[in-house]
Amino acid sequence: MFVSRPVTIGSRASIRLTRTAFRSIATAPSFPFSRPRGAEPPAEYAKLRETDPVSKVKLWDGSQAWLVVKHKDICSVLTDQRLSKQRNRPGFPELDPGGKEAAKRKPTFVDMDPPEHMQQRSMVEPLFTRDQIDAMRPHIQKTVDTLLADMIKGGGKTAVDIVEKLALPTASYIIYGILGVPFADLEYLTQQAAIRSNGSATATAASMANQELLNYIGKLVDQRVAEPKSDLISKLVVEQLNPGHIQRDDAIQMAFLMLVAGNATMVNMINLGIVTLFENPSQLADLKKDPSLAPQFVEELCRFHTASAMATRRVAKVDIELGGKTIKAGEGIIAATQSGNRDADIFPNPDTFDMYRKRGAESALGYGYGEHRCVAEWLARAELEIVFSTLFQRLPDLKLAVPLDQIKYSDPSKDVGITELPVTW
């Protein structure tokens, strides 16, 4: 029975447990929410944007965190220096056992606060500037052309999985080339990366997969110490490790981050883009006629689908006020970028895909926001733009080999993705 009178514990403290407090704990919804179907965002986001944009949710281990769903509040969270990105701080919201295990590892810049964050980020950032990536576009184009040529050789009468033939190797080959990873190890590395990022994996399985990848990268670092080449790992070795700016395990962790961070996201965005075009045939027809529309298409794609929607999390270092609520020091915050990208205050008719959408001052949150915005954003944009300016030029008769309602999507409580996409032409 709920009571409203004080309950005294010992002689020095008293706690008043009210009906409201009990009700708040009991009714906090479980998070992550589930998508109702396909790639459609969870319905809870739209409801919370209207009724309770800063609210409590319950996580897998019984802990609670704040969920922020409006674009303006998300941007505030992601630029507030009173909030920390450090996963080893008490209260940081982890969404599954694998995440809790990963938080024990030595951090890289994505899990650091200033000034350490920018000190380490600047070690890899020069390889991902817009000018650097623009210089890589011919190589990316050649990679996509080669993969499509190999796919076309097999003929298009029998269904082909475009995830396996195009999306996965495009994303993997480019980043493996930047790192200096042998392409022969693609299958092994992809398998281990899938285990470590699978939210349903046990903490033990995720930890073992992480260690396998770290051991692999460690061997590459040692090889580059002995014989540097012209790749990212060699750059870290020559410019940072050898002069003593970082330790061996720092070089390993940063290379590991580059290996796994954006790979699955890029694969899924290619797959989601293909399906989205078939769901919007008039825009597909326009893109076929004019492949220079690819950047506009990619811009809208990265608003409409947020393939890495649960990574933007923080923990409060001090008490703050947000949306009329007090978030106390040590409480976790989840900034739901997927919800922010469907905020009608920023994007009119947000649930409609429109590559001709007029862009306002506020940007979509597909690459994050603030100082932790994706370091490889220009690489991701270049890969997507080249894929979508090329695919339907080479294969104008490309068709899905299954009905739209039979496409195999990722688990509805995980980041949105497509696991298999059979096509013909």
For the annotated catalytic residues, the residue numbers are 265, 308, 374, 415
Length of the chain: 425
Q: Could you give the angle at which helices 168-179 and 377-394 cross, rounded to 10 degrees?
A: 140
Contact 218, 250 (CB under 8 A): no
Contact 44, 24 (CB under 8 A): no
Alpha-carbon span 80 to 92, nearest angstrom: 15
Q: What token pair was written down for 344?
A: 């009608």
Strands 332-335 and 64-68: parallel
Alpha-carbon span 336 to 44, nearest angstrom: 11
Is the backbone peptide bond immediately before 53 cis, with ω within 30 degrees of 0? Answer: no
Residue 41 DSSP symbol: P
Buried b (16+ CB within 10 A) or exposed e, 265-296: bbbbbbbbbbbbbeebeebbebbeeebebbeb
Alpha-carbon span 126 to 8, nearest angstrom: 59
Alpha-carbon span 29 to 99, nearest angstrom: 20
Outline where 59-129 has alpha helix (H).
71-77, 97-102, 116-121
Strands 13-15 and 7-9: antiparallel
Q: Which amino acid is at 243?
A: P
Outline where 103-247 has alpha helix (H).
116-121, 130-153, 162, 168-179, 186-197, 203-226, 232-236
